[in-house]
Structure 1
Amino acid sequence: MPAAPRPAVWATALLLACGGLAALPAAEAQAAGRCTGSGCTGKDPQTVGCGGDALTTASFSGAAVRVELRHSPACQASWARASSAPVGQILYVENTRGVRRQITVRSGQATVWTPMADATVATRACLGVADSDAVTCTSWQ
């Protein structure tokens, strides 16, 4: 006859079933070898596998360009992505801690994206002219 489960086993199972769900995305990211939060800052979302669950949380369009703030819940990180951005423009993502990651749009690039920034705080995506105040940004998310 098998032994009856001990109360500690039931308590652990209950804790994992209830409390463990809140940490599931970060745990999944770590299990898959991905980064999370500030550990993602400066990394390419495609290279480290954060693009798979990404959502567009804010965007803007003008003329032929579209700029999106992309966010990975599992990685707890965000980045900026632009389609048809003018050559020479600066695309960047920044967070409310002052972390900013940017790229310069080069010739022949139809779609570009920045390295990631920690999104455990609010982030936004911006596109503008280098060395100018002419910048357009998404709302903070």
Structure 2
Amino acid sequence: MSGTHAVLHDPQGLMDDELPLDRAPHEALVTAVLAWKAPDLAPCDYEQIALQLTGHAHAVAADVRRHAAALPKSDGRGALAEVVLREAEGRLAAPLKGTAQCAQNRAHLVRALYTRLDRLTESAQGAP
């Protein structure tokens, strides 16, 4: 149907397991947002960027959670991932604002989550 769209409603996050992260464009957005010195965007533009980064942060956090859960209890990376995930939950619970600072905070969060994800997966990538 032309002119219509479907809205995905997945409150249990069931689709997270099946959809790969689209990392490159989000990392490019993070880099651009963190490079801002004195941006002059409309509040709705800042809010839209922050919303995009928030959605991606949720997806990366779900990946971090899955990888951490697969680790043995004795692996310290899992405990550190839990700390990062708790901090992420707190930061994601903050309301979005139409400001550069809000968008940059979300960009920092996405970067931190990717750093943790990379540390969780680096030993698995080196395995035969």
Common fold: TM-score over 0.5: no
Q: Which is higher, the Rg of structure 1 or of structure 2?
A: 1
TM-score, normalised with respect to structure 1: 0.23
Q: Which has the higher strand share?
A: 1
Q: Which has the higher helix share?
A: 2
TM-score, normalised with respect to structure 2: 0.24
